[in-house]
């Protein structure tokens, strides 16, 4: 007589437990958001840094993380977090992106940027732009408002105007510190050429090893990953040189199945090593963790090729990676708990 009643009661309790469990899963998932950034890797040594400059870098990295964290915390998208975090760094003279972009050999500023949405695998990029205040926003417009992935030069500048993005006089990008860096490199170049037997142009020799690109990778409360990178490229670049930063798979990559990555370093090597995608691919095909995959690429393959630099990233579970084979990398992260951590040198 009581048997059917017992079965119904048992099933109802079971359903309640399952419901509570799934609610808890959702809660756990909604807790897992994270943001990680870099402000460039290179020969960044404490002995060359003043306490004021060091404090300024750490404060700006913190401000950038706060901007992105606010978006993630309120349920915003990883794409919004990445774009807005990068905009903060582009507006600062400290980094080699936007306002602080380095000079080309001709004394101009030509900027590159890209962004990728890990949910749709859609991407947008701009190369060699000269009047766009925030190249990362132009990259996002390419993704959202054009059928293309990458626009370059005058066409990209025109597109940004059409999209009503803020444009500025190229003078806006003038920065005394960057200008002096160019003069120094030009002088070294002149001396090298004067002392070279064949008077040939040895680009390897002329490269400088100070980078400073900015990038961000984020996981939002909805489980979506995104990554973006923005740069002025390399000081003294010429002939319309474009580095890895706007190249999807080299400087930037995001896929909800694996991770979101942004790179910084000597772009030519990152292009040839397809670094950002390689990290994601090792996770996908070889089931590596984000830390293992980055280690393999940055300290293995890239280093063997002679490539200097680093990468930051976050995986689909919110695990954070910040790895580099140079003496330093401006970097930091924040997770759901809101605790911001920023670093410059090797730990």
Give the active site residues: 213
256 binds ligand ASP (CB under 6 A): no
Say whether residue 310 binds ligand ASP (CB under 6 A): no
Asked if 235 and 110 touch (Cβ cutoff 8 Å), the reply is no
267 binds ligand ASP (CB under 6 A): yes
Are residues 323 and 294 in contact, defined by beta-carbon separation less than 8 angstroms?
Answer: yes
Cα 181 off chain centre by: 23
Question: How big is the site for ligand ASP, counted in residues (CB under 6 A)?
Answer: 15
Residues 6 or more apart in contact with residue 128 via CB below 8 angstroms:
110, 111, 112, 152, 153, 156, 240, 242
Nearer to ligand ASP, 196 or 346 (CB): 346
Tokens coding 53: 């400059």
Measured from the CB atom, the residue of 220 and 278 that comes closer to ligand ASP is: 278
231 binds ligand ASP (CB under 6 A): yes
Of residues 61 and 71, the one with the C-beta less far from ligand ASP: 61
CA atoms within 13 A on the CB side of 336: 16
> Are the beta carbons of 218 and 226 closer than 8 angstroms?
yes
Tokens of residue 83, six digits: 């774009």
Tell the smallest beta-carbon distance from residue 267 to ligand ASP (Å).
2
* Member of 68, 118, 127, 233 binding ligand ASP (CB under 6 A): 233
Any contact of residue 135 with ligand ASP (CB under 6 A)? no
Among 78, 84, 92, 96, binds ligand ASP (CB under 6 A): 96
Contact track, ligand ASP, 33-62, x by CB under 6 A: -------x----------------------
Grouping H, G, I as helix, E, B as strand and the rest as coil, residue 319 is: coil
Site string for ligand ASP, 314-333 (x = CB under 6 A): --------------------
Closest CA to 29 of 257, 321, 316, 337: 316
Side by side, the strands of the sheet bearing 259-265 are 252-254, 259-265, 309-315, 320-324
Residue 26, classed as helix, strand or coil, is helix
Please select the residue that binds ligand ASP; options are 213, 224, 252, 326, rule is CB under 6 A: 213
- Candidates 83, 220, 244, 323: give the one binding ligand ASP (CB under 6 A): 244
Among 68, 265, 328, 332, binds ligand ASP (CB under 6 A): 265
Question: Would you count residue 211 as binding ligand ASP (CB under 6 A)?
Answer: yes
Dmax (CA) for the chain in angstroms is: 105
Query: Site residues (CB under 6 A) for ligand ASP?
Result: 40, 96, 211-213, 231, 233-234, 243-245, 264-267
């Amino acid at each position: 007589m009581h048997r059917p009643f017992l079965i119904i009661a048992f099933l109802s309790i079971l359903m309640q437990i399952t419901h509570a469990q799934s609610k808890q899963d959702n809660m756990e998932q909604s807790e897992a958001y994270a943001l990680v950034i870099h402000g460039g890797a290179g020969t960044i040594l404490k002995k060359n840094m003043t306490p004021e400059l060091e404090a300024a870098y750490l404060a700006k990295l913190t401000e950038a993380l706060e901007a992105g964290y606010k978006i993630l915390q309120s349920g915003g998208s990883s794409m919004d977090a990445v774009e807005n975090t990068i905009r903060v760094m582009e507006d600062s003279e400290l980094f080699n992106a936007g306002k602080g972009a380095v000079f080309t050999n001709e004394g101009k500023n030509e900027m590159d940027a890209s962004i990728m949405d890990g949910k749709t695998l859609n991407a947008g990029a701009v190369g060699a732009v000269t009047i766009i205040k925030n190249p990362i926003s132009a990259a996002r417009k390419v993704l959202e408002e054009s059928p293309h992935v990458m626009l370059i030069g005058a066409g990209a500048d025109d597109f940004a105007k059409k999209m009503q993005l803020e444009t500025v006089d190229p003078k806006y990008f003038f920065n005394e510190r960057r200008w002096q860096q160019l003069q120094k490199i030009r002088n070294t170049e002149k001396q090298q050429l004067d002392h070279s037997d064949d008077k040939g142009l040895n680009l390897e020799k002329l490269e400088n090893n100070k980078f400073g690109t900015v990038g961000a990778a984020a996981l939002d409360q909805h489980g979506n990953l995104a990554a973006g990178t923005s740069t002025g490229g390399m000081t003294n670049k010429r002939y319309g040189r474009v580095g890895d930063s706007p190249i999807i798979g080299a400087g930037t990559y995001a896929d909800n199945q694996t991770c979101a990555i942004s790179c910084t370093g000597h772009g030519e090597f990152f292009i040839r090593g397809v670094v950002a995608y390689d990290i994601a691919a090792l996770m996908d095909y070889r089931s590596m963790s984000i830390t293992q995959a980055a280690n393999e690429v940055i300290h293995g393959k890239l280093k063997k090729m002679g490539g200097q630099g680093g990468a930051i990233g976050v995986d689909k579970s919110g695990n954070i990676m910040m790895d580099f084979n140079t003496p330093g990398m401006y970097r930091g992260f924040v997770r759901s708990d809101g605790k911001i951590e920023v670093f410059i040198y090797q730990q």
